[in-house]
Amino acid sequence: MNRFLYSVLLYLLLPVLILYLAFRAAKSPGYRARWGERFGLTKLKPSEILIHCVSMGETLAAIPLIKHILQAYPSVSITVTTTSPTGSAEVIKAFGDSVQHCYLPFDLPICVNRFIKQLAPKCCIIMETELWPNFVHQATKSGVKLMLANARLSSQSALQYQKRINLSRPMLQSLDMIAAQSDQAAERFMDLGVSPDRIEVCGSVKFDLTIPAGQMAQAKQLRQQWRDKSVPVWIAGSVHLGEFEAILLAHKRLLISKPDALLVIVPRHPEQFNLAAEKIIASGLSLARRSQQDEVNASIQVLLGDTMGELLTFYGAADQAFVGGTLIDNGGHNPLEPAAFGVPVYVGPKHWDFAEITGLLNEAGALTMISSAEELADELMAKFNDPLAYQAASQSCLRVVDANKGALKQQFELACQLIDAV
């Protein structure tokens, strides 16, 4: 498939895109507003630098990089785009009015052309692998310098690109600079036709996660409110539809020998908060909801984290953590968030979006891969019953995170090269 056929297909699917927005809006209030931005219809001021952050995870990783750029180029105007309300909320929370913010429009040629012409950026930094053929084409046509930052490319994604090589190769070859997370990702980009001199292996900026002292203190305070330190508390973060049952089953098995244990479960998507509550109640477990400020007393078996922006703090308040999106065909989420607190991590087999990071943590003994609720319960129990094994895993988490810091500095330097070249 080439870009022309891709564009025709997108136009044909336009009614489906509108139905998708309507469906998401019915489920989540965040999708009910700002539809104009999705089609490039919003009024924007020209901006010299465009940074695209996708959703919440990529936005959190990008925030330190954006802050470095703001400090180094205080007179340069910056626009930050996302594709989800959760990512949007993080941008607004971190930067307020110091950057211009909107959603990146759908990759329809007419929408992207209007967006690029109105914004007129000189350079664009795209986080991870959020690449859109028409956007990249129009940016290149308009003379915009392009950098793919914190770039990851799983074997599955590389295979999909290879299957559509006539569409993907021109797009990838249009990138002026790729800051790859790993040697494996760099090799996959080269196999797809990217020149080696445009690729720099920098590691992942997600290793440069810094936990503010205030957030650490808040996590400790939450833990004291929930349970005594001797009582087991574990968290299942970024849980998707299709994983709730396994998590609740694992907790039920844990409760057999640890009847006072607490599970904190945090759905990935806000529209699943109420569904999660229904499943917890249907399972027969006692429930408290964070959004309603319910008391987490000794009788509560599950705390539903149905708020936004608190997941990292919840990780710090727990003893062990399961990271969701890994028991279903999703690709997973960032296991470094609990690891940065020294919290041992568990993931399912479908963790390809974080394969290299997961591998590093696993080799160090900081992370364990599980494939079922029973296996998860057994692993949780093993560490709750063996303080030495728990401590070893906890220390391994901190060592891996600390040993791999430095990607932020390297990628900032590459970004400066891009900015200075225009």
Domain of 175, CATH number, reads 3.40.50.11720
pLDDT for position 401: 95
SS3 state of residue 364: coil
β-strand partners of 124: 50, 146
pLDDT for position 208: 92
Q: Is 12 exposed, middle or buried (0-12, 13-18, 19+ CB in 10 A)?
A: exposed
Distance, CA of 198 to CA of 125 (rounded, Å): 14
> What letter would DSSP give residue 325?
S
Do residue 265 and residue 282 come from a single domain? yes
In a domain, 255, yes or no: yes
Identify the active-site residue in 37, 58, 128, 310: 58
In the chain, the number of structural domains is 2
What are the φ/ψ torsions at residue 163 (nearest 5 degrees)? Answer: -65, -25
Do residue 245 and residue 286 come from a single domain? yes
Helix runs in 45-178, H state only: 56-72, 85-95, 109-119, 133-141, 155-163, 165-173
Do residue 350 and residue 411 come from a single domain? no
Do residue 260 and residue 289 come from a single domain? yes
In a domain, 112, yes or no: yes
pLDDT for position 274: 95
Do residue 305 and residue 260 come from a single domain? yes
For residue range 186-201, list pLDDT tens digits in order. Answer: 999 999 999 999 999 9
What are the φ/ψ torsions at residue 11 (nearest 5 degrees)? Answer: -65, -40
What residues have CB less than 8 Å from 358, skipping those under 6 apart?
Answer: 332, 335, 347, 351, 367, 369
Do residue 385 and residue 365 come from a single domain? yes
Count the Cβ atoms, other than its own, within 10 Å of residue 110. 14
pLDDT for position 337: 95
* Angle 107-110-113 from CA coordinates, rounded to 5°: 80
pLDDT for position 10: 94
Distance, CA of 93 to CA of 163 (rounded, Å): 39
Return the CATH number at 378: 3.40.50.2000
> Per residue of the chain (422 residues), what is the pLDDT tens digit?
799 999 999 999 999 999 988 988 887 788 888 999 999 999 999 999 999 998 888 898 899 999 999 999 999 999 999 998 889 999 999 999 999 999 999 999 999 999 999 999 999 999 988 899 999 999 999 999 999 999 999 888 999 999 999 999 999 999 999 999 999 999 999 999 999 999 999 999 999 988 888 999 999 999 999 999 999 999 999 999 999 999 999 999 999 999 999 999 999 988 899 999 999 999 999 999 999 999 999 999 999 999 988 999 999 999 999 999 999 999 999 999 999 999 999 999 999 989 999 999 999 999 999 999 999 999 999 999 999 999 999 999 999 999 999 999 999 999 999 999 98
Q: How far is residue 178 from each of residues 57, 128, 148, 406, measured CA to CA in Å?
A: 19, 10, 5, 17
Q: Is 58 a residue of the active site?
A: yes
Q: Which helix (H) or strand (E) holds 415?
A: helix 407-420
Helices and strands, counts by H and E, the chain: 19, 14
Spatial contact of 7 and 109, defined as CB atoms under 8 Å apart: yes
Average pLDDT across the chain, whole number: 95
- Residue of 264, 206, 275, 288 whose CA lies nearest to 240: 275
In a domain, 208, yes or no: no
Do residue 171 and residue 32 come from a single domain? yes
Q: How far is residue 48 from each of residues 51, 128, 375, 384, measured CA to CA in Å?
A: 10, 21, 51, 52
For residue range 103-137, list pLDDT tens digits in order. Answer: 999 999 999 999 999 999 999 999 988 899 999 99
Distance, CA of 149 to CA of 128 (rounded, Å): 6
What residues have CB less than 8 Å from 242, skipping those under 6 apart?
Answer: 327, 328
pTM given for the model = 0.87
pLDDT for position 422: 84
Instruction: Domain of residue 336: give its range.
Output: 213-403
Which amino acid, residue 213?
A: A
Do residue 19 and residue 151 come from a single domain? yes
pLDDT for position 28: 79
Do residue 84 and residue 223 come from a single domain? no
Do residue 250 and residue 145 come from a single domain? no
